[in-house]
Structure 1
C-alpha cells in the first residue's frame, strides 16, 4: 500500500510539472516571436521589441538598434541590461529611446494576446501597450 501511495504522489507531481510547463508555453508563445511596436510612434522612428525563443531581446529604439537578455518564467518577465548603438538622432527620437529603456528596466510581467502586448511593472501597473506588427 505504501508503495502505491508513493508512486501515486510522483504521478501527481509529474502531472503538476507538466501542467506548469504547458502554462508557461502558453504565456511564452504569444510573447515570443512576433515583433511588437509602439503603434503611436511616427513610422520612420517606430520603436519595436522582439523576444526570441532563446532568451534574447532585440529591437529598435526609434533611434538605435538594441539587444539584451530576458527571462520569461511563471513568476513574470525580467529584462537584463540592454545595449544599443550610439547613433545621433533628433532630440525627440532620443527622448523616446530614453523612455523605452526606462520602461524595459521596469518590466516585471507581460500580458499578451495575438494582437497586443502589455508590459507591466512589479505592482501590475501597465508601462506600455504594444501592437503586433502586421506582416508586410
Structure 2
C-alpha cells in the first residue's frame, strides 16, 4: 500500500502551545497508518494493528531542532515529529517536503509530510541530463508554476506548457518552444533536454535537496534549486 501525504500547513515554532493553527495529515505503510492533526485535536489509527488514538488537544514544541506534536489521552501518549528534509514515497519515490515519525504504543511509524506540490514548486536549474553534466555556460531551467504550468530555458530557446503531478507520477506536455538558433553545444543540449523531458514519468528527492526526474527506472535529469 502506497503512502500518500495530504497536508502540512504552518511553520512550527518553539515553545509548547495549542496547535489550533497547524494541521498535519500523513499516511504510512508496513503497517498501514494514518495521522490527522487539526484544530479539533489529533487522530491516529493503524487498522491492521487494531490501534486507535484520539485527543481533543495537540500541543507542540521543538526537540533536538525538530518540530513535534504531542497529545495525551486515556493514559496514553502520542508524539509526531516533523523531520524537515525531503521525503520519498516508498513505492513511487515521489517527493514530499518533510518526513513524519509517529511514536505510539511502543512503536515507531515512519512516513512523509506536506503537499507534494510544495516539494517541486518554483525554479530549478538542470545540472545533469542523463548521467552527464550540463555543459558549462549552457543554461537549462525548469519553473514549476501553479495550475499545472511549466516554463524555462531549454539550452538555447525558452519553452512553456503543461505538466501533470500526482502522488503516482509526473509528466510533461504538450510543450511549446521558441525557434531561435544558437551555437553548439547549446543546440545539442537543448535537443537532449527536450527528448528527455518527454520521457519523464516521476520525480524523487536527490542528494542535498536536489530533485531527480526519472524516466521509468532511469535518471533523466538532476535539478538543483535556482538561486
Give the TM interval when normalised to the shorter protein: 0.7 to 0.9
Is the aligned partner of 1:94 residue 2:217?
Answer: no
Structure 1 residues 52-107: Cα deviation after superposition (integer angstroms, max 9, x where no partner): 12100100011001001001012100111211100010131111111111111000
Cα RMSD after superposing both structures: 2.1
Indicate the residue corresponding to 2:212 in structure 1.
118
Q: In structure 1, what is the Cα distance between the partners aligned to 2:180 and 2:200?
A: 25
- Gap runs ≥5 in structure 1: 1-18
Indicate the residue corresponding to 1:37 in structure 2.
125
Indicate the residue corresponding to 2:115 in structure 1.
26
Moved over 6 A (4+): none
Q: TM-score, normalised by structure 2?
A: 0.46
Q: Indicate the structure whose relative CO is greater, using CA pairs within 8 Å and at least 6 residues apart.
A: 1
8 A Cα contact 1:31 1:112, kept in partner: no
The structure that has the greater radius of gyration is 2
Shift in CA distance, 92/60, structure 1 to aligned 2, threshold 3 Å:
same
Give matches, 1:1-136, under 5 Å.
20-22=5-7, 26-33=115-122, 35-39=123-127, 40-42=133-135, 44-112=137-205, 115-122=209-216, 124-134=217-227
Aligned length: 114
8 A Cα contact 1:106 1:121, kept in partner: yes
1:91 alignment partner, SS class: coil
2:194 alignment partner, SS class: helix
